Amino acid sequence: MRMVFRWFGHGNDTVTLDQIKQIPGVEGIVWALHDIPAGEEWPMEQILETRKMADHYGLNIEVVESVNVHEDIKLGLSTREIYIENYKRTIEKLAQVGVKVICYNFMPVFDWIRTDLCKELEDGSTALFYEKEKIDKIEPLELVRNLTKNPELTMPGWEPDRLKHLSNLFEAYKDVSEEDLWNNLKYFLEQIIPVAEENDIKMAIHPDDPPWPVFGLPRIITNRENISRFLKLVDNPYNGVTLCSGSLGANPDNNVAEMVREFADRIPFAHIRNVRIYENGDFIETSHRTSDGSVDIVDIVKAYHENGFSGYARPDHGRHIWGEKCRPGYGLYDRALGIMYLWGIWDALERAKREANHAGNE
């Protein structure tokens, strides 16, 4: 397991590279050029600047999250060809600086959805919270009105200057079914995966968060059956999954550890975090410790260990603790604690394996 840490860039993150370097076992950053709009080709100058900053601290830049997919590709419009070509050129550039994995998603319009960015837990820490009934009751047109009239309201990945397109996007997706989205994803993969393979970069799709339809929009990377279908769309080792225990784990029907065991050879990147699920379908993010949430983190790490996982992993989201002011879900302290918890499990499994081998040789 190769531990990496999400970093949003100099001046765009409260966490610094020298702090990341001090977390035991972390060898690289998970990064992106967040100021480049979806669909545009990434400038080589900015890519090299990120590598220069990371090199200074001895951190690799082998995992990118995300090279965002333009909505025209998801919608299957004729204009997608332009954006797919830009995507290919970006893959080629990233290969030149040693990138090995690109995480991306195929969620229409929005990325992750939450109703509260700082919901308080029993211990006084705060975390990202999802209130299912509130989301289920929101009509798309009402959402558009609220977001355009109240600039202080935000949605993940949607800056104020992009909100003017929201109404048009909902209209564009009105007649897009899940099967349409599957077909558009297949077309994208058929164009991209050969280029990824040529450049030795594994593409790793992120599951939908939460793993069910929202605001009437289709979502398809949601469970074991759909992940299996996805991997068969283009059956190539360079077509893989960013297996996120928090996203998939929000649905109690998803057994994430069993997914790890089934898809181990197609998981180049792992997001490991915990969520606590309530009976009414609400969920809140917790510490990584298994007993704090509803996801069996111990069994998940065990599944990776059993399969000799040598890919990249990050602690994903964390709580906001000790008064830290940070990007919601991305504080330094709780993610660093999460890393040490994950290493503790891994080290215990390594020791047990060595002792079993030693006993078998006596």
Confidence (pTM): 0.93
326-358 confidence digits (pLDDT tens): 999 999 999 999 999 999 999 999 999 998 887
120-146 confidence digits (pLDDT tens): 999 999 999 999 998 888 777 676 666
Question: Domain spanning 2-138+173-361: which superfamily?
Answer: Divalent-metal-dependent TIM barrel enzymes (3.20.20.150)
% of the chain exceeding 90 in pLDDT:
81
* pLDDT over threshold 60, residue 97: yes
What are the domain boundaries of the chain? 2-138+173-361, 139-172
Helix (H) or strand (E) holding 232: helix 224-233
**CB–CB of 80/70 below 8 Å?**
yes
* pLDDT over threshold 70, residue 153: no
As a whole number, mean pLDDT of residues 85-104 equals 98
Question: Catalytic site residues?
Answer: 206, 244, 271, 316-317, 330
- The type of residue at 67 is V
Neighbouring residues of 20: CB distance < 8 A, sequence distance ≥ 6: 5, 7, 26, 29, 57, 59
DSSP track, 92-142: HHHHHTT--EEEE---SS-SS--SEEEEE-TTS-EEEEE-HHHHHH--HHH
186-215 confidence digits (pLDDT tens): 999 999 999 999 999 999 999 999 999 988
- The type of residue at 37 is P
pLDDT value at residue 160: 54
